[in-house]
Amino acid sequence: MNRLKLILIAFLCCIGFVSHAQDIAILKYKGGGDWYSNPTAVPNLIKFCNANIGTTINTNPETVEVGSTDIFQFPFLHMTGHGNVFFSDDDAENLRSYLESGGFLHIDDNYGMQPYITKELKKVFPNKELIELPSSHPIFNQVYNLPQGLPKIHEHDGKRPQAFGIFQENRLVLLFTFESDLGDGWEDPEVHNDPEEVREKALQMGANIVKYAFEN
Instruction: Please tell me the predicted confidence (pLDDT) of residue 19.
Output: 52
Sheet arrangement for strand 76-81: 62-65, 24-28, 76-81, 104-109, 171-178, 162-168, 131-132
Q: What's the CATH number where 169 sits?
A: 3.40.50.12140
Q: Domain limits at 25?
A: 3-215
Q: What is the pLDDT of residues 54-92, one digit of tens each?
A: 999 999 999 999 999 999 999 999 999 999 999 999 999
For residues 178 and 114, is the Cβ–Cβ distance under 8 A? yes
Q: What is the pLDDT of residues 12-21, one digit of tens each?
A: 554 445 455 7
How many domains does one find in the chain? Answer: 1
Decide if pLDDT at 152 tops 90: yes
For residues 83 and 112, is the Cβ–Cβ distance under 8 A? yes
Stated as kind and residue range, the H or E segment containing 166 is strand 162-168
List phi, psi (to 5°) of 43: -55, -40
Rounded (10°) CA dihedral 118, 38, 61, 88: 30
